[in-house]
A and B are shown apart, each in its own frame.
Chain A
Amino acid sequence: NAGVMQNPRHLVRRRGQEARLRCSPMKGHSHVYWYRQLPEEGLKFMVYLQKENIIDESGMPKERFSAEFPKEGPSILRIQQVVRGDSAAYFCASSPPRRASDSDEQYFGPGTRLTVT
């Protein structure tokens, strides 16, 4: 059973460009979470999605950031007009359906390291 997959692993963008990060959850998982880790810091929650729905976006900046989890395909975190402060590691996690005994466990992907030059 493949784990959570993220791509690309490394992404370099110039200021003003768009960054698009992809996350494929574990098989059978219907919940996706995005977190951001700034250098030498802990992880901060950004957004929580189920298929076609945003459940909680309280951690996501109001401007330039958006996320989706379509019926088919991976979850996408999009950052428009990137700035140097967006440089960070972005981690995706997935969890099983709520009826599962381990539904409170989140499994993390390897992350996408975004560098804005």
Chain B
Amino acid sequence: GNSVTQMEGPVTLSEEAFLTINCTYTATGYPSLFWYVQYPGEGLQLLLKATKADDKGSNKGFEATYRKETTSFHLEKGSVQVSDSAVYFCALTQAGNKLTFGGGTRVLVKP
């Protein structure tokens, strides 16, 4: 079956630092890949997505590139802010069906 593995947190950074959260996946075929963000007490918000190999998703300064050769979809941001403190989930879906999530990575940005 499909699976998603992402680095465990928490990740603690200072403001303006560079953020990378690693995500790798196992799936047959060509899944669509997503990053979701969850702020405390809230639901998940779609952050970005990529639907085919070498696609780059980007939003709010975050980027991730769909790497089929390494089955990875690492999330990056060049300069984090305190407001980026949240839990980030990598996920995949095939044919628009259920999402398979990684375990989540908690990010804490300190001023």
Contact = CB atoms under 8 A, between A and B. Distances in A.
Interface in B69-111: 89, 93, 96-104
Contacts of A44: 101
A29 to B, nearest CB: 12
A105 interface: yes
B103 A104 contact: no
Nearest to B104: A42
Residues of A in contact with B, size category: 20 to 34
A91 interface: yes
Interface centre among A31, A56, A104 (most CB of B within 10 A): A104
Contacts, number: 55
B43 interface: yes
B44 interface: yes
Contacts of A74: none
Indicate the member of A4, A59, A107 with the most B CB atoms within 10 Å: A107
A8 B97 CA distance: 26
Nearest to A91: B43
Contact of A42 (B45, B96, B98, B102): B102
A84 interface: no
Interface of A: 4, 31, 33, 35, 41-45, 48, 55-56, 59, 91, 93, 95, 98, 103-111
7 contacts: A43-B101, A45-B99, A45-B100, A93-B99, A104-B32, A104-B96, A105-B46
The 6 lowest CB-CB distance pairs between A and B, nearest first, are A108-B43, A45-B98, A108-B44, A42-B101, A42-B103, A104-B96
